[in-house]
């Protein structure tokens, strides 16, 4: 199992992305949390509220999910990272595997 993370600026966009990936069975679960981001972009300090989105899927879907996230993203340069958990409860990992096609 892997977790693909991105940041999105609108709650509706986060819901829409998660729902699309759930409906197409590319992820087993999607979550998002409100965060505060600070970064330099085009030589300007940016401080803004965002949503950090986590998408739980099996490793074989990594590139497909990443491509979907990139295609639907509104940012010029989206944060897209992939996390491999050190440990996952075996029953949860099995559920993720069985929930994706």
Backbone angles phi, psi at 64, to 5 degrees: -65, -45
Gap between the Cα atoms of 96 and 27, Å rounded: 8
Q: Which of 51, 47, 49 is nearest to 12 (CA)?
A: 51
Backbone angles phi, psi at 71, to 5 degrees: -65, -35
Q: Where along the chain do its domains lie?
A: 2-99
**Topology of the domain comprising 2-99:** Alpha-Beta Plaits (3.30.70)
- Per-residue model confidence (pLDDT) at position 1: 96
**Segment 36-94, tens digit of pLDDT:** 999 999 999 999 999 999 999 999 999 999 999 999 999 999 999 999 999 999 999 99
**20: pLDDT confidence band, cut at 50, 70 and 90?**
very high
- Please state the pTM of the whole predicted model: 0.94
Question: Which tokens sit at 73?
Answer: 């993203």
Is pLDDT above 90 for 101?
no
- Per-residue model confidence (pLDDT) at position 90: 96
């Amino acid at each position: 199992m892997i977790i693909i993370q991105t940041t999105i600026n609108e709650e509706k966009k986060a819901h829409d992305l998660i729902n699309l990936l759930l409906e197409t069975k590319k992820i087993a679960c999607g979550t998002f949390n409100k965060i505060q981001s600070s970064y330099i972009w085009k030589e300007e300090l940016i401080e803004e509220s965002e949503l950090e989105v986590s998408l739980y899927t099996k490793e074989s879907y990594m590139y497909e999910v990443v491509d979907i996230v990139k295609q639907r993203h509104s940012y010029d340069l989206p944060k897209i990272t992939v996390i491999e958990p050190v440990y996952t409860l075996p029953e949860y990992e099995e559920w993720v595997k069985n929930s994706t096609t």
